[in-house]
Amino acid sequence: MTATPGADHSTDSYLPEHGNGGYRVLHYDLDLDYRVFSNRLAGRAVVTARASQWLSRYSLDLGRFRISEVRVDGRPARFTHRGGKLQVRPEKAIGYGATFTTEVRYAGTPVPISGRWGDIGWDELTDGALVASQPNGAPSWFPCNDRPDDKATYLVTITAPAPYTALVTGDLVSRRRGAGTRTWVYERNEPTPAYLMSVQVGRYDLVELAAGGVIQRAAIPPGLRTNFRYDFGRHGEIMATMERFFGPYPFLEYVVVVADDDLDDPIEAQGMAVFGRNHVDGQRTHERLVAHELAHQWFGNSLTVADWRHIWLNEGFATYAEWLWSEVSGGPTAATHAAQWHAWVATHRGYLTVANPGVHRMFDPLVYKRGALTLHALRNKVGDAAFFRLLRSWVAEHRHSTVTTDQFRAHVDQDDLLTAWLDRPELPPL
């Protein structure tokens, strides 16, 4: 067999080693068994994909697991597994446009993916586990095409010991009890990239987060009920504010998980956000982060960047949502925040190009703050009514798809302003 060009690399300019060419995933069916005390995960994954070229071989991203079997369309397939790549050679080459399934049985101790941002992915907690996969941690728990522009649907079944609750990004389909275990089945029908799928396992109380048209639930450690009730007490108002500015919430429900460990930063997943117990102090110290993570459900999750260089479309928008909530809730106005952060950026000598900051600076605070400042400059230019119309139509036109900076340029039709703010490292006047 001849090699298939590009099979082990994606077209992402920042993380070409993550993700693969030659096919697009349509659906993942994952059946997982997790043992908390030994931190052992056993899985059966069935990946349904469509070939975008003739394939004599192809690859999936998968971390350090022992693989017992790989089948393609029900037939045993040869495979190798090294360097985070599961390379598969089916009995017969797969034709262009053909739909095919890859079944992988695997087991082992899940560990995060190590890299320039630290350890990303499946993380063992003091008592349980969480998954935080942005940008490249999904292979730490299932075989996948780990690129942001390959969005698929999911069915995830997970079994865990009976004292624990297992939550997955998706809508709960069923749950059942076994001998000392509980099994949950979740369905994710909206197109979702692998990095936005998440699993949370812990001893949680399940509570209502807020009433309203959108189902809003929370999973929290029992001892945090009082502080949580206050810190997240305005979540219904935050949701209503976001819907007014950005349009209808893009999923069926929103779930907040508070891990019973401290976390450096909250984490967004599809229809879910994860906070550490340190973010719940009974004083609403971190309410801006509550708004930020919710805003990602529109910007990052429903609208997903086609390539990581466009990350300002996630983080700049979510940061501006913080300023909008502050303005609505009686705090400093967005204009006040913009002036303060403009002054901060002006004294910060680490200039970068927002539209292409470079892989080492993807998560630089300047991407967040200058991205938000770009939106405020646009708001000042076109006025409030036109600005929020542009945001709502941007969200509606690209719902559950991928987006680029050039698409946003075309949408707002303000080339001079966006060129100054996004393409040049010098800071424009506000």
User: Any idea of the CA torsion for 42, 47, 53, 54, to the nearest 10 degrees?
Assistant: 70
Q: Is 315 annotated as a binding residue?
A: yes
Cα–Cα distance, 168 to 267 (Å, whole number): 14
| Secondary structure string (H, E, C) spanning 261-282 | CCCCCCEEECCEEEEEHHHCCC
Cα–Cα distance, 13 to 360 (Å, whole number): 12
CA distances from 104 to 62, 81, 99, 169 (A): 10, 12, 17, 21
- CA 29 to chain centroid: 19
Measuring CA to CA, which residue among 119, 159, 164 is closest to residue 34? 159
Give 299's DSSP letter.
B
- List the beta bridge partners of residue 81: 86
Q: Is 360 annotated as a binding residue?
A: no
Give the list of residues 6+ apart from residue 157 with CB closer than 8 angstroms, or none.
30, 31, 32, 183, 184, 185, 186
Give 221's DSSP letter.
-
Cα–Cα distance, 347 to 341 (Å, whole number): 10
Token pair 């009976």 is found at: 162
Q: Which of 190, 287, 293, 322 is catalytic?
A: 293
Q: Is 296 annotated as a binding residue?
A: yes
Residue pair 23/74 in contact (Cβ under 8 Å)? The answer is no
For the question of residue 397 being annotated catalytic, the response is: no
For the question of residue 164 being annotated catalytic, the response is: no
Q: Which residues participate in catalysis according to the annotation? A: 293, 368
Residue numbers in the known binding site for Zn(2+) are: 292, 296, 315
Residue numbers in the known binding site are: 292, 296, 315
